[in-house]
A and B are shown apart, each in its own frame.
Chain A
Amino acid sequence: MSTNTITTQKVNFKVFRFNADEDYLPYYENYTMDITSEEVVLDVLNRIKWDHDGSFSYRRSCRHGICGACAIKVNGRSTLACKESMTTMIEYFGNDITLEPLSTKRAIKDMIIDKADFWEKHAAVTPYLVADIDECPSCENLVSPHDAEELNEADLCIQCGACHYACPVVEINSDFFGPAAFAAAYRFEADVRDNDTQRLINVNEEKQGVWDCAKCFECAEVCPKDINPIEKITKLHQMAFKKGVAKNNVATRHAVGFLHSIKKHGMLDEGGLVLYSEGPSIIKHIPVALQMFKKGKIIMPWNMPKSDNLDEIQKLIKSSSTVKF
């Protein structure tokens, strides 16, 4: 028998309500409920529907963190409702809790959103194994434990959309595939049996691909399955260089430019990096650069500081580099 005592506290809920068929604008309904330390967010959704308003709508199915249907936003944070305990939410946000769909812009009814953009992006990265596998093999197609580990648990994704709708870049750039699609792409790129040649090129294209990731780590923070999508995004960047599909563009030069700069100065040469990355397009940065120059924010190349013991850094770059571009 558990020795934990169950505690109860009053929580004020502000709940997003909207019916695309009837409402001109969304509105918020308030409910105050006694919440026990044993309840998860999904219990609250159920109680709103069962005790307060039968028309309240949300997606739910497995109740065990595996179907990915019930993800919503709690105080702006993407949350898988059946997994997250209310105690944790109260710890995070106090006793005033706002429940909203993953994307208010895409709301159809209350917590239910049109997830078409998510599925389109998912489908666009060829999220399946592409391989010439004999349908009637004489023995099993074994994958060694070492090779299976390479997936880094990317195969645990339940497509709940928590990271996708937490990603600030998805919100601004509608072409961007988003963290969940990248994690799916990585899952198959890392599979030794896969021999698709287009996927990695596809997820490295400008605008839609991994290079537009802003490195904010929101996806890693919200993932209910601890998949760490940004780690997969980083690995897709590295794979592009390793497999020779990285194009010569501003994004890749920006990454490679760090190496050149560190080799020369130990430190980053900020101006040099922008020039290396942009090439002739550096012209567009001149107005801001002039403003910065006036305020003493730009160092002339001949005054560029260097790290002490630069020879050590150069020696290590020589011996430890694993990639060529």
Chain B
Amino acid sequence: MKQLKYALFTGCTAKQSTPEQMMSTLAVARKLNIELIELTEASCCGASHLQDYDDFLSLVLNARNIAYAEKHGLTMVTICNTCQLNTAMTKHRLDKNIELKAKVNEKLAEVGLEYKGTSNVIHFLYAIIDDFGLDKIKEMVVRPLSQFNIAPFYGCHNIRPSELHDESHKQKENPYNPTSLDDLIIACGGKNVEYEEKNKCCGFHVELQAPHTAAVLTGNAIAGATDNNADMMVTPCPLCHLKLDTQTKHASEAIGRDVSLPVLHMQQMVGLALGCTPAELGLKHHVTEVNFI
């Protein structure tokens, strides 16, 4: 197989509050012989909040990020659901609206850049599944996670709006019954846990302005996974991870029940199955300890 090569948009959390996500992304890429060119020039995607303030500016900044991927002639991979949403949404809007694209390019020209629309934007989860292939991952598993029930937590912005997902990725994902992460768990030898909250919201985006709402959503998710006998959760989104991993105290208080489960990043789960060491995957960086390894 030809070596896969992507432009990596790390997003902000990978460089700050979820260092383990960056470490495990690189570790898995090494194992799978995927080359990642980090877009060190990229800015924050605005996380849907800059979009609430200044829509046009957020388009310009995201178009700039994509323009750098285009310069490399590579597909951009994201490792955060919200980066994926905002980047793919920018691409969607600019590709559909020539006038808007021209306005954005007028600004980008000031710094010698141009958004052409030549690079796709996909999440690393789907790069692994659609481009590398589940069967090949399965063959490479050296440490099957067979003793674990693993609850997939998809995160809103990878699966909704489904139109955007299906436009960006090769395989469609049913927003009401997503399967990609379940399939990946099974490929890693684990048992996937079915539960109602797997495609629900973690509450991250209202944590500051509506802490109670956010905490209930987080609590419900962990409780749902726990009640269906999960040993751990796994998510492709670092923002969901932050909620599920670091906010268990508030979540427990909000739903009146103690909830806490180890939560792996999707990359950490794959890395474990492929034989990466806990140190390589940054397992010590979790607030809710990952103590089963």
Contact = CB atoms under 8 A, between A and B. Distances in A.
A316 B216 contact: no
Given A169-B206, A169-B213, A92 B177 contact: yes
Contacts of A43: none
A241 B19 CA distance: 34
A298 B17 contact: yes
A67 interface: no
A143 to B, nearest CB: 21
A270 B57 CA distance: 20
A228 B92 CA distance: 15
Nearest to A323: B54
A320 B60 contact: yes
B177 A93 contact: yes
B110 A92 contact: no
B248 to A, nearest CB: 10
B57 A259 contact: yes
A234 interface: yes
Interface string A265-302: 01110100010011000000001100110011111000
A168 interface: yes
B156 A215 contact: yes
A246 B164 CA distance: 30
A310 to B, nearest CB: 9
A32 interface: no
Nearest to A213: B206
Given A172-B217, A220-B160, A258 B110 contact: no
A77 interface: yes
A270 B12 contact: yes
B53 interface: yes
Contact of B210 (A76, A169, A216): A169
B40 A307 contact: yes
Contact of B247 (A92, A254, A261, A288): A288
Interface string B236-267: 00000000001101100000000000000000
Interface residues of B, number: 63
Nearest to A295: B285
A129 B43 CA distance: 41
A277 B209 CA distance: 9
A245 interface: no
B101 to A, nearest CB: 14
Given A92-B174, A268-B44, A305-B15, A76 B161 contact: no
A23 interface: no
Given A93-B176, A259-B53, A295-B286, A214 B208 contact: no
Contacts of B156: 215-218
A39 interface: no
A98 B157 CA distance: 26
A270 B16 contact: yes
B129 interface: no
Contact of B52 (A238, A299, A316): A238
The 9 residue pairs across chains A and B that have the minimum distance between CB atoms: A217-B160, A237-B52, A216-B201, A251-B209, A268-B12, A258-B50, A312-B111, A268-B44, A255-B53
Interface of B: 12-13, 15-19, 40-44, 46-57, 60-61, 64, 107-108, 110-111, 113, 156-157, 160-162, 174-177, 196, 200-201, 203, 205-206, 208-210, 212-214, 216-217, 246-247, 249-250, 284-287
